[in-house]
Structures are given as structure tokens and as C-alpha cells.
Structure 1
Amino acid sequence: MYDWACSVYSTSVLTVFLGPYLTSVAEEAADADGFVHPLGIPVRAGSFFAYSVSLSVIVAVLLMPLVGSLADRTGRKKRLLGIAAYVGAGATAAMFFLDGDRYLLGGLLLITANAAQSVAMMLYNSYLPQIARPEERDAVSSRGWALGYASGALVLVANLVLYLGHDGFGLSESEAVRICLASAGLWWGAFAVVPLRRLRDRRLPGGEAPASSGLRQLAATIRHMRRHPLTLAFLLAYLVYNDGIQTVITQASIYGSEELGLEQSTLIVAVLLVQVLAVAGALALGRLADRYGAKRTILGSLIAWTVTLAAGYFLPAGQPVWFFVLAAAIGLVLGGSQALSRSLFSHLVPPGKEAEYFSAYELSDRGMSWLGPLLFGLTYQLTGSYRDAIISLVVFFALGFVLLARVPVRRAIAAAGNPVPERI
């Protein structure tokens, strides 16, 4: 249910509405040369959104290890999850007031919401080993991802009806966008009540967490993880192939618009198609994992990602139907590969270190996904072809496949001190 609550932020706010809208607000505030000056620093208006996202990642990197350690040592995980969730939901709802030239307000709200979302997801993910038996985790994680994609699609449809028909509702385009942004925060806060009422804290030995900086705590977490090299080996594999996944998600629309010449309405429909089919994909791969094991199923999904990118390289320009086929393929493997990675990692976490280790996992998910966009950008810069740029991402899935295949997951689970499931 927390996936159901918070996923609308990623879909409606980050993927669809906030980037273009915040950029337009920054452009309204820009000087004659197209620059805004936050804290006296000249920043091109078109780059303000990207810089705000980057700064939010830095804030999250500092906060997640500290909060994760605090949660494990004090047993107050639910309270910390509630604080992070409602800080994020409140900042998102406050985006309703983002009008005129208030670009600094927009940047502050984005940084707050994005960092809070990262911290909350880290805490939320760390509950998985506590609430599901080893043999249940693939199915539980897959259902969570499926619910998240379903809610994202549902709210996005409502948002698009409001946005496209804003004149009929007596709203300006700006008012419609601000209502869409705020509605994501209200949805997030309303449905977060369900897990926060039902979850229970589990106090563990060790007392209160000492005061420590985020970087110091991250270093301590990494030192502890060195005692479990097989867990680190899985995390490295995940970092590599997840970088590829995140890059496809963020760059597919650019590929569609710039290389294939598709209209914005086509790209929005493709986003909806990904959301809907990711529900079915997450559930289907969860069932495959129950039969063949999570590791084999993830490896199969990485092969599917590679085939999908190869097919994307040959897509004809100006033909939306083939782009929809590509979006469908992405949707079917997207949710399952992410859900099963989360559940497989949960088996590799030593008991009592759930939040701390999942802070490192969340850093791999959100804070380290920069190599893919860099490779994509460099390839385009050198070749002038988005087709070459999209096919270059195959290296992340191929290398991730090799690294994951080399991880002896049964031995890794036993080394972490956890029971080894019959099928993994």
C-alpha cells in the first residue's frame, strides 16, 4: 500500500508535469540572457530542474545512511517512515503555490520532496524481510510494484483529463498543472495512512544510534558490508543493470521525440502503456520467480531488456504503433526486474541491519544512476545519432547479467545468516 501511495509522485510529478512546468517558471524569472540567479549563482533557466534533481540526490545520499542506522538501532522505523512520507507529501502538495516566477520555491519543494521520497523508500523497503517469510518475498515485492504502477496509471489518467480539458473546467493551463502536482501529494499522504497504521516497529539490541554525519555513517555501513562480500557482489550487479533501466526510463521520451519525430500526446500515451503493463509484468515475473527462482528470472529479464533495446534501434521514424510496441515490452519487464531485485536483496541482508543495508540499496537505485545518462549523452555527442545512443545502453544489461550470474546467491544468503529458501 505504500507503493500505491507514493508511486504517483514518480509518475505524475517527476515523469510528466514538474520538469516542463518548473522550467517555464524559471524562464519567467530569467534575465535577458536566459539566466536565473539562485544564491547569486548564474544558472541557465533550462538547466534549473536538472540541477535541482541532482541536489536532491546529494541531500538524500547524506540522509539515507544516517536515518537507516537510526532506524535499525532505535527500532523507530515506522515513526521515521511517517516523517519522511509526510514531509515529501507535504512538499508535493505545496507545489500548488508554484506560480508566476517562484522558481526558487519550486526548486526547494522539489529537493525536499525528492530527498524525502528516497529516505521513505529506503525505510519502506527495509520492512520486507520483517513482514514476509523468505518464500513469500518475491510475491509480496511484485504485488507492491504492481500496485504502485496501477496507482500511477490511475492518477495520471485523471491528471491528463484535467490538463487536456482545463478550458472546460474553467481553469488556466497553469492552474491545471498545479492541481495535478498537488493531487499527487494529497494522494501520497492519504494512502500512507494505511501502512503507517498497520506496520509495527521491532526494537533490536544495541540501544540508541550515536550522532553521526551521513557520510560517516555511509562509510560505516560500507565497512560492515565488506564482511559480506557476496552481498556487495550482488549490489554491484544491481547498480550496473539498474543504471541501464533508469537511463532507458529517462531517455526513451527523448529518443521518441528527437529521433522518431513523435508528438507529445504519443509519448504520454506510451507512458500510460508502460504503467499499465508494468502491473501485469510485475505479477507475471513474480510467478515465474516462484517456479524458477528470482535469480534466473532476473537474468531472463536482462536478456529481454537487451532484445528490447536492439529492437528499439531499428524502429522506423514517424510510426507511433512501433513505439507503443517498444513501450509495451519495456512495461512487461520493468516492474518485474525491479520487484525481484528488491526481494532477492532482502535475503542477503544480515538480521538487524535491514534499514542500514537498504540505504545502500536505495543509493544504488537513486543516487548512482549517472553513468547511463553520461554514456547516452557522450554517444550522441560523438555520433550525432540517438539510435547509437540507445543501443549503447546494452552494455549495462550485458555486464549486469555477467556480474549477477557469478553471484552464488544460496551461499550469499547463508553467509548473511538467513535461511535459504527452497527456490531462489
Structure 2
Amino acid sequence: MSEAAGSWLARLGLGRPELRAWAMYDWANSAFLTTIVAAVFPVYYNNVAAKGLAPEAAAFNFSMGTTVALAVSAVGAPLLGAIADHRPYKKAFLLGFMAIGALCTMAMALIGEGDWALAIGLFMLANIACSGSIAFYDSLLPHIAAPEELDRVSSSGFALGYLGGGLLLLLNLAWILKPGVFGLPDAGIATRLAFFSVGVWWMVFSVPLLRRVPEPAVAGGGHDSLGAATRHALADLRETFTHLRRYRQAFLMLLAFLVYNDGIGTIIRMASLYGAQLGIAEGHLIGALLLVQFVGVPFAFIFGWLAGKIGAKQAIWLSLAVYAGISVLGYFMKTAVHFYALAILVGTVQGGSQALSRSLFASMIPRERSSEFFGFFAVTERTAGILGPLTFALAIALTGSSRGAILSVIAYFVVGALILSRVDIEAGQAAVRNGGNLKLDI
């Protein structure tokens, strides 16, 4: 690698091989988040798998399936994370979840007309696996990046995720819109091929992390048996609130993230279904979400740079203000042009808000308990994902329409921003340096 290239990568937070390999997992799993969660699968589910169901019933089943999957993820993440802090299992757990998720995604190619139960079942399993793998992926961050690198490395991971997910979605979109050009008989077969390609992509681009990112050292040498590690993990979980009281600012960050990420998760997961029910054509829905991916690449880097100028907390506030505006505009959305405009706005803030939340939390937790604490972070993220779709489902049940539900998420952004204002980053980082011994009462 030339000196100029090395210097450029270092400025982006990717100056070392292990940092680049770690960030490539964002590239790998983002294909699932784009093609499956956000773009192609919700539309295929609505138009094909749920054919014969009333639109409200289809949306309700989809929302509840998402809710159950995220609930299962939330329950399991802390225990597995605590086990991985006693045994060198972070990469093994990541590999296991990745393999399950990728295989379930490939199996989505089997979903046909009216197979809504199979579609939701595979979608739930793949979501659980993806969430589990990301929790262990996140927990590796404080082990490979210095404190001053966290914001840039985390933001660069999201930027690569946008680029990788966007490139595969672009290919998937080409297959679906022009199947004959690729020798495919119709858009339905092309969509199934897209699902299969996501699983392959996810597996292949996970290899750099598995090869180049070292398994972090475990306190005490990590020689406990699995049974002993599990017993210790359960004991640790019983002390969860004690740990969080010792790291008060990390706890406040979790609480803030729980609230405002509820709104973010709802917009990500329900946007395509919402657009489809307003009558926006499938090509426009997928094209707009593809636009989010490529707008997100430069803005993820920009938010990493912005955090260095004004601070991570202030940069997150800015993103939440934009999200509140998106919710208002979404209520009035009627045409594909409106959907494209909202896609651009989402692309400017989506990666930055989540990347900086991850890095800000990582800066306020002890490295030796990174899996346990990121297990709590995963619970927070999954719980937010539960409340958002559940709110959406209840709003549909009460009003018979999806449009009014979009306004409800504004409250999450406002309340989350207020809680975030109480986070003292310097005190949180000082608590880590002092082993959580600062006298900070909640």
C-alpha cells in the first residue's frame, strides 16, 4: 500500500488491516438490512407472500413477526454477551449467528404466492441471527480501536455498509426490473434470486473479520468450561444494575438510545410497507431505498468528521432534528417524488446517528466487559425495534390506516434528545479509567 493511500485510509479510521477487516462486516450484513429488511422483501411479502390477506392483516402480521423476532434477540443477547466475556467466544458466536442468518436468507428463495407464514418464519429467524451477530461485531470495536479512533472507525463501518448494501441492492434491482436482460424468466424469479444472493454475500464478506480481527483476550485467561462460563455469566447478569450504576453515563446513553432509536427503527423497517400501501410502485420504493444507501456513504464519513468538530452528542442531536422533520413530511407523503425526497433526508442522517451512538457508548464502557455491555446495547436496540413496529401495528388496529402512525415517532426523537442532553461524556469516560469507581448516583 502506498504512503498516500495509507494516510487517506488513516484519516477515514481504516488505517490498520484489522480495522478494515472489522468494517467489512458492515459491508457483509448490510445486504440483509437493505434487500431483506428495508427494500425488496417487504414489497415481495406484501404483493406475493401475503396475497389473499387483507392489507391490514398483512401489515399486522408483518409487524408482529418483527416484534417477536426482536424480543427473542433482546432476551438472548445479554447472556451470550456475558458468556463471551468469560470465554473467547466473540468470533465463534458471531460466526454461528451469521451462518444461521445467511442460510435462512437463502431459503427465502423458496417463498411463493400465499406463503406468508413461511415468509414471516424465515424473516424472524434471519432477523434474530442478524441481531445476534451484530451484537458481537459491535463488542469487538473497543478492542481494536483506540478511544480517539472510535467515532471515525464506527462511522467508516457504517459507510462501507451503505456502499456494500447499496451495490448488491443495485444489482438486485436490475434483476427485478429487467429480468430478461439477465436471462431470468420474470421478476418473481429475479426476486427469489436476490434473496439467495444476499445470503451468499453475507457469508463471503464475513471472511475478512474472521481471518484478521483477533479474538480479544479474556480476563483470567478464559479457561473456564462452558458450564462455568455460563454460571459466571448468570452471576454477572444479576449484577447488571450494579454495573450500570457504576457507569451512570453509559446507562443514560442506553436509555436515550432506547428512546430515539425506536423512531429510527420504525422508519427503517416500515417505510417500504407504508409506501406500498399508499400505492407507490415497487420500482420507486426500491429505487428510493437504493438512493438512501448511496447518499449514506458520504454522510456517514461526514458525521464521523463532524463529531470531531462539534462532538458526537451534538452531531446526534442534529440527526434527531432531521428525523423529526422526516416524520412530519412522511405524514403528508403522497407521490413517488415525495418518497425520493424523504429517502435523501434519511440517507443524510441514518448512518451517522447510529454510528456515533455505537462509538459514544463504546467510549464509556470497560473493554473487559464489552460483550456484556454491548449485549445490553443490543437489548436496548432490539427493545426499540419492538416498540416501534408494535406502535405501528396498534395504530393500524385502532385507526385502520398506516398514515397516522408515522407521526407517533416524533415523540421518540424529542424525548430521546432530552435524555441525551443529560449524558456527561467526560464523566463517563473518566468512570472507565477509574474502573467505575466514581461516586455517581442515579
Q: TM-score, normalised by structure 1?
A: 0.85
| Counterpart for residue 192 of structure 2 | 178
Structure 1: how far apart are the matches of 2:315 and 2:411?
A: 19
Structure 2: how far apart are the matches of 1:258 and 1:19?
A: 11
Structure 1: how far apart are the matches of 2:413 and 2:164?
A: 28
| Counterpart for residue 320 of structure 2 | 302
Q: Does 1:164 align with 2:177?
A: yes
| Counterpart for residue 416 of structure 1 | 432
| Shift in Å, 1:398 | 1.0
**Residues 275-424 of structure 1: matches in 2 within 5 Å?**
275-315=293-333, 317-318=334-335, 320-376=336-392, 388-417=404-433
Q: Deviations over 1:370-418 (max 9, x none)?
A: 3334444555666677664333322111111111011111101211337
> Residue type of the partner of 1:69?
A
| Counterpart for residue 194 of structure 1 | 208
CA contact (8 A) 1:66 1:213 kept: no
Q: Which runs of 5+ in 1 are unaligned?
A: 36-43, 420-424
Structure 1: how far apart are the matches of 2:256 and 2:313?
A: 12
CA contact (8 A) 2:42 2:272 kept: no
Q: Deviations over 1:230-285 (max 9, x none)?
A: 211110001111101111223333554455x5333222221111111111211111
| Counterpart for residue 39 of structure 1 | none
Residue 383 to residue 85, structure 1, CA distance change in 2 (3 Å): closer
| Shift in Å, 1:161 | 1.1
Structure 1: how far apart are the matches of 2:111 and 2:232?
A: 32
What secondary structure sits across from 1:397 in the alignment? helix
CA contact (8 A) 1:274 1:328 kept: yes
Structure having greater relative contact order (Cα 8 Å, sep ≥ 6)? 2
**Residues 17-28 of structure 1: matches in 2 within 5 Å?**
17-22=40-45
Structure 2: how far apart are the matches of 1:349 and 1:123?
A: 15
Q: Deviations over 1:347-371 (max 9, x none)?
A: 1112311011111111211233233
| Shift in Å, 1:132 | 0.7
CA contact (8 A) 1:6 1:148 kept: yes
Structure 2: how far apart are the matches of 1:373 and 1:86?
A: 26
| Counterpart for residue 41 of structure 1 | none
Residue 381 to residue 137, structure 1, CA distance change in 2 (3 Å): same
Q: Does 1:269 align with 2:287?
A: yes
Q: Does 1:205 align with 2:224?
A: no
Q: Does 1:132 align with 2:150?
A: no
CA contact (8 A) 1:313 1:388 kept: yes
Q: Does 1:57 align with 2:80?
A: no
What secondary structure sits across from 1:353 in the alignment? helix
Residue 217 to residue 89, structure 1, CA distance change in 2 (3 Å): farther
CA contact (8 A) 2:140 2:216 kept: no
> Residue type of the partner of 1:286?
G
Structure 2: how far apart are the matches of 1:75 and 1:288?
A: 35
Q: Deviations over 1:121-161 (max 9, x none)?
A: 00000111111111111110001001111111111111111
| Shift in Å, 1:107 | 4.6
| Shift in Å, 1:91 | 2.3
Residue 403 to residue 376, structure 1, CA distance change in 2 (3 Å): same
| Counterpart for residue 91 of structure 1 | 104
Structure 1: how far apart are the matches of 2:75 and 2:233?
A: 4
Residue 86 to residue 322, structure 1, CA distance change in 2 (3 Å): same
Identity %: 39
| Counterpart for residue 40 of structure 1 | none
> Residue type of the partner of 2:70?
V
What secondary structure sits across from 2:85 in the alignment? helix
Q: TM-score, normalised by structure 2?
A: 0.82
Of residues 154, 158, 161, the one that matches 2:167 is 154
Residue 247 to residue 193, structure 1, CA distance change in 2 (3 Å): same
> Residue type of the partner of 2:429?
I
Structure 2: how far apart are the matches of 1:386 and 1:23?
A: 14
Residue 149 to residue 104, structure 1, CA distance change in 2 (3 Å): same
